[in-house]
Amino acid sequence: MKKLDRLCLAIVVIISAVCGYWTVSYGNKQRRQIKQEEEIFSKRLKDLNLADTNLQRLKATLDATRLELETLNERVPEKAKMGEFLKKVDSLMKERQVVLIQLEPQPTVEHKLYTRISVRLLFKGSFVNTYRLINDLETMHRKLIIEKMRISKSENDHDCRVDLTAAVFARHN
């Protein structure tokens, strides 16, 4: 009987040891799997954060590009809007106390992406006022390029006489 008890006890110990090993082995396997899943989750979270950062940068770039495009659309409109442009020139001349002598539209030039519309302006006024008017024209919201300019002294008084050819632009649709 003693042998049988010892054998039963040995079997119980062996079975307990095997079960313990399997349990520990299964637990270690689960820990490794959890660790791998955490690493995968961490990597995906980093990728998601990077994607979010890139998305924010893209949105900021898109907003800046949209603002730049709106500004460009205002500076070079689709339609010539020459009436608005000439009203603005007239108001600037009145503000600067410069007298318009002649306004002469020049032939338009069609380019691939835009139309260049030239206008010849002949005006007179004091040197300071003509200088300020020319500065106002160059810095106005509408894109304007001064193509030619000749400043001379008026014959009868001390005013400057300016012969200026400027181009404004209109985009093609």
pLDDT digits (tens, 9 = 90+) for 96-147: 999 999 989 888 888 888 888 899 999 999 889 999 999 999 888 888 889 9
In sequence order, the 6+-apart residues with CB closer than 8 A to the CB of 90 are: 100
Rounded CA-CA distance 100/112 in Å is: 33
Cα 60 from chain centroid? Answer: 8
- Environment class of 35 (CB within 10 Å of its CB; exposed 0-12, middle 13-18, buried 19+): exposed
pLDDT for 17-47, tens place per residue? 888 888 888 888 899 999 999 999 999 999 9
Rounded CA-CA distance 131/129 in Å is: 5
- Kindly give the interhelix angle for 82-95 and 127-139, rounded to the nearest 10 degrees: 150
Residue 164 reports pLDDT greater than 90: yes
Helix (H, G, I), strand (E, B) or coil at 77: coil
**CATH topology (fold) of 82-171:** Alpha-Beta Plaits (3.30.70)
Split at pLDDT 50, 70, 90, the class of 6 is: confident
Rounded CA-CA distance 166/32 in Å is: 76
Q: What is the pLDDT of residue 143?
A: 83
Rounded CA-CA distance 147/167 in Å is: 7
The neighbour count for residue 74, using CB atoms within 10 Å, is 11
Cβ atoms of 170 and 77 closer than 8 Å: yes
Element (H, E) at 106: none
pLDDT for 56-92, tens place per residue? 999 999 999 888 878 777 777 777 678 888 888 899 9
Q: Is the pTM of this model over 0.75?
A: no
Residues 141/143/149/151 CA torsion (nearest 10 deg): 0
Rounded CA-CA distance 16/11 in Å is: 8
The residue length of the chain stands at: 173
